[in-house]
């Protein structure tokens, strides 16, 4: 693992955006695996800024998102498709027909997940996968479990994840209890992985990810086995490590 220390959230976002922009410049038709949540928003803002300056061209880029809430339509302001449109896609020249998010309105989990795995397969594989890190060590919506999930699957969200996400909804009762997410196996197939981590509340999870045993109880710990992982974390997130 390559650990890149950032001063703060803004510095983290800029460093992460540098890595993504280098990928797009080196391979204009690359496949980007994208993430949602508060962690990557600053990274997306930086990419938009560079695009507006004429430094980046997303016309040939394909994107595949990690996850989506089950039961939410793309038009729902809390859906991850809406998030991606609002925070990135609406502001760059990416072809939205080549941006993929799991179908949250597909009621049949087996069908939804099989279709998404086929999209990943037909893409030729993800060149760079962007990840955030949950307070319980989850990546995507792969929650602590007894085993690592291999492919895209439907998950029941844990109380800690529901609690972390309830700030985006009118009430906790409005937070979906299930989501479709890429599996650990799907994520690990990416050629490069970039993890952005910010805040002292992620310090324990980050330490367990980097230094702890590889266990499905800390899903992100599997990243220790990938041969090209860069973690960009701010000082607060690294506060429990000697880095």
The residues annotated with a catalytic role in the active site are 67, 136, 138, 143
Other Cβ atoms less than 10 A from the Cβ of 1: the count is: 14
The alpha carbon dihedral of 241, 200, 224, 156 has a sign of positive
Q: Which residues pair with 67 in a beta bridge?
A: 181
The span from the CA of 238 to the CA of 243, in Å, is: 7
Other Cβ atoms less than 10 A from the Cβ of 230: the count is: 17
Residue 190 Cα to chain centre, angstroms: 12
Residue 225 Cα to chain centre, angstroms: 18
């Amino acid at each position: 693992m390559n650990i890149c220390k950032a001063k703060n959230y803004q510095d983290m976002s800029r460093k992460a955006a540098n890595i993504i922009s280098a990928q797009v410049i080196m391979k204009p038709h690359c496949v980007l695996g994208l993430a949602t949540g508060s962690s990557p928003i600053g990274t997306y803002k930086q990419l938009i800024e560079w695009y507006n300056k004429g430094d980046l061209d997303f016309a040939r880029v394909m994107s595949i998102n990690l996850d989506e809430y089950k039961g939410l339509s793309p038009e729902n302001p809390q859906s991850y498709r809406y998030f991606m449109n609002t925070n990135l896609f609406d502001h760059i020249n990416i072809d939205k027909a080549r941006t993929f998010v799991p179908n949250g309105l597909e009621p049949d989990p087996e069908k939804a997940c099989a279709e998404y795995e086929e999209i990943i397969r037909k893409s030729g594989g993800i060149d760079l996968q962007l990840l955030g890190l949950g307070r319980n060590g989850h990546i995507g919506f792969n929650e602590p479990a007894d085993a690592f999930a291999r492919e895209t699957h439907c998950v029941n969200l844990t109380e800690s994840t529901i609690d972390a996400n309830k700030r985006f909804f009118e009430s906790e009762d409005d937070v979906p209890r299930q989501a479709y997410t890429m599996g650990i196996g799907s994520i690990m197939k990416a050629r490069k992985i970039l993890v952005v981590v910010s805040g002292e509340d992620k310090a324990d999870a980050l330490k367990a990810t980097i230094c702890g045993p590889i266990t499905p109880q800390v899903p992100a710990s599997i990243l220790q086995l990938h041969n090209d992982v860069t973690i960009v974390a701010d000082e607060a997130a690294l506060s429990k490590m000697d880095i």
